[in-house]
Amino acid sequence: MERTFLMVKPDAVQRGLMGDIVSRFEKKGLKLIAMRFMLIPKAKAEEHYGEHKGKKFYDPLISYITSGPVLAMVWEGEDAVSVCRNMMGKTNPKESAPGTVRGDYGMQTGRNIIHGSDSPASAEREISIFFEPEDIVVYARTADQWVYE
């Protein structure tokens, strides 16, 4: 099983979309193994988005992601990274298909509802920024026999 990091961004929190977003991933069959509702400190935001430092959207991105609470999560499942990326939709919500999180709720790239790791390596790095190993809950879920063969 693969793990991925997802974050419901401040715009979605303010719009009251957390429950619906979490529900989509849970209904898909992914297993939630860690969750934290938090205000991201600036230093943690800079670490998380470090690869974008120097780009023109970097400072506005840091201001935005630290402007209100987020819901940080770790999900587990078969090919979790690619499954979640498909469910999220394209970075630009206007290009996202209906039925995706961004396609259903987003209008602009700068307010695109959700972040998700783009590779297993990114997932591992991002999970370690927001969670300690003891925050990850390893458990057997009886419903998994109805999700996976």
Active site residues per annotation: 115
45: enclosing H helix or E strand: helix 42-48
Instruction: Please enumerate in sequence order all residues whose Cβ is within 8 A of that of 93, keeping only pairs 6 or more positions apart, or say none.
Output: 102, 103, 105, 106, 107, 108, 109, 112, 113
Dihedrals phi, psi of 106, to nearest 5 degrees: -100, 155
β-pair type (70-77, 114-116): unpaired
DSSP secondary structure string for all residues of 90-134: -SSGGGSPTTSHHHHH--BTTB-SEEE-SSHHHHHHHHHHH--GG
